[in-house]
Amino acid sequence: MKSRVITGMIVVLAAMSTACDETGQAGSAARQIIDLRGPAAAAGNTVATGVKVLNWDNLLPDDFHPEKLLDGYDTETLSDDDPRAQELMKKLQAMWKEAPVVNALNGQTVKLPGFVVPLEGDGRVVNEFLLVPYYGACIHVPPPPANQIVYVRAQGRNVQVRRLFDTVWVTGTMKVERASSELGEAGYIIDALNVEPYEAEQ
């Protein structure tokens, strides 16, 4: 039987280049969340207020290529009890946890869209949450690498969450700093100045 854990990690690798909506089909809004290729959200774009609009690719160093770790493995034939699958899983987990970050983002005021994974709150209002690039991350599939998870601190903002994996824009100060939670290891922290419902920028 094909390894379920390896399959899960491959799903994450695929999700880093395409996004899915709640039904599991590629959705235009979700794809915008992960790509944001429009003029107003081009890499490094800075709006008039001095806020840099980011997409999730901007959080990945140019030399980060996790898919290369799969070279030399026939993932179609690996089973959970195969020592090679266990070896590959350990390598993937280590890479995910220690995934390199973009240090140049430290201290910048940024605006980043994503899906909300609440860490605390009453189910409707949250003050701390993970921001992730695709639907289901950290809950339905293995968490993304640390450089694709942002820990958002929004104390006092009383962020309204309509549902799990609500889509939002987060504006705030980016810190290149690790933050651990039960749901994943974040490579970045944003101290939020504003959290608003997601709408594609034109």
Mean of all residue pLDDT scores within the chain: 76
Share of the chain above pLDDT 90, in %: 34
Residues 6+ apart with CB under 8 A from 176: 101, 102, 103, 105, 106, 187, 188
**Does the pLDDT value for residue 116 go beyond 80?**
yes
**Does the pLDDT value for residue 181 go beyond 60?**
yes
Mean pLDDT of 75-94: 78
Domains in the chain with CATH codes: 4-62+100-197 (2.40.50.870)
How would you classify the pairing of strands 128-132 and 150-153? antiparallel
From 141, 142, 144, 138, select the one nearest 118 (Cα to Cα).
138
* pLDDT category of residue 24 using cuts at 50, 70 and 90: very low
**Does the pLDDT value for residue 10 go beyond 90?**
no
Q: φ and ψ at 111, to 5 degrees? A: -130, 120
**Does the pLDDT value for residue 21 go beyond 90?**
no
CB contact at 8 A, 85 and 6 = yes
CA gyration radius for the chain?
17
Give the pLDDT of residue 34. Answer: 37
Distance of CA 82 to the CA centre of its chain: 29
**Does the pLDDT value for residue 14 go beyond 80?**
no
Which residue would you say has higher pLDDT here, 143 or 18? Answer: 143
| pTM for the full predicted model | 0.74
From 188, 185, 184, 201, select the one nearest 41 (Cα to Cα).
201
